[in-house]
Structure 1
Amino acid sequence: MVILLLQHGADPSLIDGEGFSSIHLAVLFQHMPIIAYLISKGQSVNMTDVNGQTPLMLSAHKVIGSEPTGFLLKFNPSLNVIDKIHQNTPLHWAVAAGNVNAVDKLLEAGSGLDIRNAKGETPLDMALQSKNQLIIHMLKTEAKMRANQKFRLWRWLQKCELFLLLMLSVITMWAVGYILDFNSDSWLLKGCLLVTLFFLTSLFPRFLVGYKNLVYIPTVFLLSSIFWIFMTWFILFFPDLAGTPFYFTFIFSIIAFLYFFYKTWATDPGFTKTSEEERKVNIITLAETGRLDFRTFCTSCLIRKPLRSLHCHVCNSCVARYDQHCLWTGRCVGFGNHHYYIFFLFFLSMVCDWIIYGSFFYWSNHCATTFKEDGLWTYLNQIVACSPWVLYIFMIAAFHFSWSTFLLLNQLFQIAFLGLTSHERISLLKQSRHMKQTLSLRKTPYNLGFTQNLADFFQCGCFGLVKPSIVDWTSQYTVVFHPAKEKVLHSV
């Protein structure tokens, strides 16, 4: 109806009896598609009502929650503009309403903390008057962080956060192994030392590492594990395995693992990019064709969603042919780096497999064991007494081997037999729970058969017998069939 009225000459800038224009009403009723369409058609995101309030002010004051405040911020509205009567900024209005989610969004966008209204109050002054402890904490924390930005040392620490986190992880893993290997029969003493170590270690990320970088803790744990796995192999296992094929295979595996880890981490997974003009054209086109909804339009990126894409809230971007946000690499896995991810998993499992083999080889050569005579429990006590460090590294390697092998087999099954990503498979399984008929994961437009699925994924042929189909999933908006598949479909 809005589109029809505008096409017949309706003026969206007219003010109603309560002093609101069309965009203000769309904000009050949280109609995000209408907001996007009006702005794309030329309506100003900073348009004021009779009281001088912008849509952002109205959203922060009248609509409790993160939306549509977060949605409006995507259109780059003025954050520090003030209204006519109270001279409040959007942040003032959010604090006055106790709108915690809106305060969080506005602080993240960079709203001013020192602007005073007609009463001479800053947002913090208003929060102190209302005694909203959560908002007071948020404002004080943000003010402290912005003040710290003035110091060079703090800026340097922020740049080096990941490196410092990695160094902390390396040192902590060594300290744990050192305590376990400590020449003492008192496990109570070792337990107290471990508890003290973990307490001291937990203080560092809390004070020196930002919240956003805490998601990389599994990544630095993995890299630290690989570092000590390599050091253990080189120092303890090298004398026994030097010159054997196993040694060179391990070296090749660890180099390949580091390479494919880097490629998975550094390669663009398929982030969708578009200019502001293209964005507006897409919004208008989708709206006027009746397709401006969450299935085809991303309200976070303000773009038309390519087929098989999904918005990652960690990376804050839509990813083409989205598979997952990998916990162990700290990056999304998508169209651009999915094949690197497969090799990353393969060589990680190989590295861990060789260190497990090396551990058993070390125990057989350096530890006096009586497994056949006394059984498993005595054998475990003997290898613990012989070298707690080797057992420690063995357990770490076994842990990484278990999850990497499971994920690798799961990925290969999905790619070869289903032609689906992890996200698509999980979504279809969830849908099947609410359906009366059984949903087959094999019957999808993306499953072209075992051979063709592998050829398309790895983009490699087989002596002309199988040719990969080249699809750019960053700009694909319609279902694509392979020519061979189309013939089968048309013949049915």
Structure 2
Amino acid sequence: MEGSGGGCGERECKNHSHGPLGLHGHSWSKMYEEKDLPEEQDVLPFVGGYSNFDIVKATQYGLLDRCQELVEAGYDVRQPDKENVTLLHWAAINNRLDLVKFFISKGAVVDQLGGDLNSTPLHWAVRQGHLSMVILLLKCGADPTLIDGEGYSSLHLAVLFQHMPVIAYLISKGQSVDSADRNGQTPLMLSAHKVIGMEPTRFLLKFNPSIKVVDDIEKNTALHWAVIAGNISAVDVLLEAGSSLDIKNIKGDRPLDLAHQTKNRLLTHLLSEEEKIRARKTSRFLRILEKNEFLLLLVSSLTLIWAIGYVADLNSDSWLLKGSLLVFIFVILSLFARQFVGFNKLKYFPVAFMLGSVFWISWTCFIRFLPDFSGTVSQLPFFLGMVGLFYYFYKTVRTDPGFIKTTEEENKKNIIDLGESGCLDFRTFCTSCLVKKPLRSMHCHTCNSCVARYDQHCIWIGRCIGVGNHSYFVLFLFFLTMVNIWAIYGTILYWSEHCTTTYREDGAWISFTQIVSCSPWVLYIFTLIFFHTSWATLLLILQLYQISFLGLTSHERITLWSKRSKHPVSLRKTPYNHGCLQNLADFFTCRCFGMFKPNIIDWTKQYTLTFHTVKDVHPV
């Protein structure tokens, strides 16, 4: 905490991270032991003011005036205390920025080694995660590559203590992500070995470290160290990044060999499966299949949907036979998908199912329903709907939804700017993409990218919906709903023309059985139509309501709605709501023959709420 800490005593400060700290660390796992005062002395210094503070305590509490008084009286700021700790160390660990500037102006050595760990003030600041102090010390000439008594540089310490902003800032300022500690371990190796979990291993991989480099002693890669530590999350992340399974350490062991030695069954299975997957990629035939996995998934969906309808349409009255055939079909297609479709492509199954359903719905409409419509006018909605449906589906899928794209140099510049302005936190900075997040943007974990004016990741499209393709998505929903409603009408007309029912004499159940026996395929297709009509219509209504009446995206509406339980939030009173007609004009960028003047905003670069100015709003 910056500034004076004069309001809290030593006991209170030991229970709060912002209070004065004393450092006598002896190992990385037990870094801090705070100075204890006798209980009866906790409040005595405050009774008589601060005039009885020595310079060390005044530094810990951030008392600039008292420190200036003592230095002017002749105290040498370079003089260490009895624990070989300088004033600059105490100021750094307690994040006293003004005092650091003052001591350095009076001749304090910025890279002075001190304490049991023989660390510099920068090491102390990094351990505590004081980014503002790290920035100041670096500006004053601190060397982040210096090794402390345990053999760690500043970057290694930031990794050990999982201070992501500090890691990002140090690398952006030029410290190599592959810098080695005393044992030749890189930060990636240290993270995989010492920090159990996915972070900061995944975070470090964003800076493109070498995953093949080995340490100086054991000759282990980061994957070796993760296996030794039993760090399953880190192993998974490293395998996803393409870490080699064939590199041997000084004992001739590969990562899989180490997994067998540690008798970790989960790691052994994970590495063995990865080895099989990589072995398959050497086959030309399997590589071709991998490139066409979605096509195989689509063919499987088409086959599954047809097979279910075909079995249901069989003349046989044996439900046992039909059930057995369906189970057989499911098993065969499941084995096929498991063998030839990768797990990462299975997330596109809803897309394949939707496209397969639309194909068989349209085929049924064309073959069975269209002949019952006498005039061209009554058939026109079907053809227009199908053209619009496939066109806007293609546009939604192929159009960039608004991915935030920056170069590596721009990322580092943004990190430095955000850090030095005190804004390097998760609200303004995406640790996955390493980008400064614009307003209304959101990181999509499925697409692994930040999307401008993020609405949702639609499972029926298999794509993020953002500023670039949101309007296409709404039009896709409109035409899908149009086709489905026409198909529902076509189904009812088909039943009335081709199926004999005795509803008035025998009731609804008998009429239903008569419809089933008349054409099980049509009833099956009607079920698919009803299902897709339900979600498409509901989603279309929600989208139009959000766009026209709220001016919000789905993500924003859900976020604001969830906050209403704690704070009264009006969904209509937001900076993005300009009125119903203006909202629609802005969304579809429509002038309506000059009646409206839509606001065109580049949401990929909009970081403040000043977008109503002439500079940011441009008419079409």
Indicate the TM-score class for this superposition, using the shorter chain for normalisation.
over 0.9
2:328 maps to 1:233: no
- Assess if the C-alpha contact under 8 Å between 2:381 and 2:482 holds in 1: no
- Identify the residue that residue 171 of structure 1 maps to in structure 2: 303
Q: 1:178 is matched by which residue type in structure 2?
A: Y
**1:84-106 CA distance string (max 9 Å, x none):** 11111100000000000100111
Deviation for aligned residue 1:242: 5.2
- Assess if the C-alpha contact under 8 Å between 1:448 and 1:482 holds in 2: no
2:600 maps to 1:470: yes
- The structure richer in helix per residue is 1
Q: 1:18 is matched by which residue type in structure 2?
A: E
Q: Which moved more, 1:32-41 or 1:200-209?
A: 200-209
CA RMSD, 1 decimal = 1.3
Distance between the aligned counterparts of 1:480 and 1:202, measured in 2?
53
Distance between the aligned counterparts of 1:355 and 1:191, measured in 2?
28
Distance between the aligned counterparts of 1:239 and 1:182, measured in 2?
24
- Identify the residue that residue 277 of structure 1 maps to in structure 2: 409
Deviation for aligned residue 1:212: 1.2
Distance between the aligned counterparts of 1:209 and 1:45, measured in 2?
36
2:509 maps to 1:390: no
Deviation for aligned residue 1:239: 2.1
Q: 2:599 is matched by which residue type in structure 1?
A: S
- Assess if the C-alpha contact under 8 Å between 2:381 and 2:483 holds in 1: no
1:315 is paired with a residue of what secondary structure?
coil
Count of aligned residue pairs for this structure pair: 483
Distance between the aligned counterparts of 1:27 and 1:155, measured in 2?
38
Deviation for aligned residue 1:375: 2.3
- Identify the residue that residue 498 of structure 2 maps to in structure 1: 366
2:254 maps to 1:113: no
**1:238-263 CA distance string (max 9 Å, x none):** 32225442212101101110000111
Deviation for aligned residue 1:462: 3.1
- Identify the residue that residue 56 of structure 1 maps to in structure 2: 188
Stretches of structure 1 lacking an aligned partner (at least 5 in a row): 487-492
2:534 maps to 1:402: yes
Alignment of 1:243-262 (within 5 A): 243-262=375-394
- Assess if the C-alpha contact under 8 Å between 1:445 and 1:480 holds in 2: no
Deviation for aligned residue 1:119: 1.1
The structure-2 alpha-carbon separation of the partners of 1:77 and 1:49, relative to structure 1 and needing over 3 Å to count, comes to same
* Structure number with larger C-alpha Rg: 2
Q: 1:447 is matched by which residue type in structure 2?
A: N
Deviation for aligned residue 1:463: 3.6
Alignment of 1:304-319 (within 5 A): 304-319=436-451
Distance between the aligned counterparts of 2:513 and 2:495, measured in 1?
12
Query: Which residue of 47, 50, 53 maps to 2:179?
Result: 47
Distance between the aligned counterparts of 1:275 and 1:145, measured in 2?
32
- Identify the residue that residue 340 of structure 2 maps to in structure 1: 208
- Identify the residue that residue 421 of structure 1 maps to in structure 2: 553
- Identify the residue that residue 20 of structure 2 maps to in structure 1: none
- Identify the residue that residue 319 of structure 2 maps to in structure 1: 187
2:351 maps to 1:219: yes
- Assess if the C-alpha contact under 8 Å between 2:552 and 2:577 holds in 1: yes
Q: 1:98 is matched by which residue type in structure 2?
A: G
**1:332-365 CA distance string (max 9 Å, x none):** 0000000000010011011111111111111111
Structure 1 residue runs of 4 or more that deviate by more than 6 Å after TM superposition: none
Q: Provide TM-score, normalisation by structure 2.
A: 0.77
**1:121-155 CA distance string (max 9 Å, x none):** 11111000111111111111111111111111010
2:587 is paired with a residue of what secondary structure?
helix
1:318 is paired with a residue of what secondary structure?
strand
Q: 1:304 is matched by which residue type in structure 2?
A: K
- Identify the residue that residue 454 of structure 1 maps to in structure 2: 584
Q: 2:327 is matched by which residue type in structure 1?
A: V
Deviation for aligned residue 1:201: 1.7
Q: Which moved more, 1:232-241 or 1:120-129?
A: 232-241
2:180 maps to 1:38: no
Alignment of 1:116-127 (within 5 A): 116-127=248-259
Deviation for aligned residue 1:483: 5.9
Q: 1:477 is matched by which residue type in structure 2?
A: Y
2:264 maps to 1:264: no
Distance between the aligned counterparts of 1:52 and 1:477, measured in 2?
41
The structure-2 alpha-carbon separation of the partners of 1:242 and 1:205, relative to structure 1 and needing over 3 Å to count, comes to farther
Distance between the aligned counterparts of 1:106 and 1:481, measured in 2?
41
- Identify the residue that residue 35 of structure 2 maps to in structure 1: none
Distance between the aligned counterparts of 1:109 and 1:219, measured in 2?
27
- Identify the residue that residue 277 of structure 2 maps to in structure 1: 145
2:212 maps to 1:80: yes
Distance between the aligned counterparts of 2:183 and 2:196, measured in 1?
20
**1:188-234 CA distance string (max 9 Å, x none):** 22122212222222222222111111011000101101110111111
- Assess if the C-alpha contact under 8 Å between 2:214 and 2:220 holds in 1: yes
- Identify the residue that residue 40 of structure 2 maps to in structure 1: none
- Identify the residue that residue 490 of structure 1 maps to in structure 2: none
Q: 1:473 is matched by which residue type in structure 2?
A: W
Stretches of structure 2 lacking an aligned partner (at least 5 in a row): 1-132
Q: 2:584 is matched by which residue type in structure 1?
A: L
Query: Which residue of 454, 466, 481 maps to 1:322?
Result: 454
1:433 is paired with a residue of what secondary structure?
coil
**1:422-465 CA distance string (max 9 Å, x none):** 00111111122233xx2111111111111111111010123433
**1:395-417 CA distance string (max 9 Å, x none):** 10010001000000000000011
Distance between the aligned counterparts of 2:347 and 2:355, measured in 1?
14
- Assess if the C-alpha contact under 8 Å between 1:445 and 1:481 holds in 2: no
Q: Which moved more, 1:234-243 or 1:166-175?
A: 234-243
- Identify the residue that residue 440 of structure 1 maps to in structure 2: 570
Q: Which moved more, 1:189-198 or 1:261-270?
A: 189-198
- Assess if the C-alpha contact under 8 Å between 2:202 and 2:237 holds in 1: yes
Distance between the aligned counterparts of 1:443 and 1:7, measured in 2?
44
- Assess if the C-alpha contact under 8 Å between 1:446 and 1:481 holds in 2: no
Deviation for aligned residue 1:481: 4.8
2:564 is paired with a residue of what secondary structure?
helix
2:493 maps to 1:342: no
Distance between the aligned counterparts of 2:246 and 2:592, measured in 1?
66
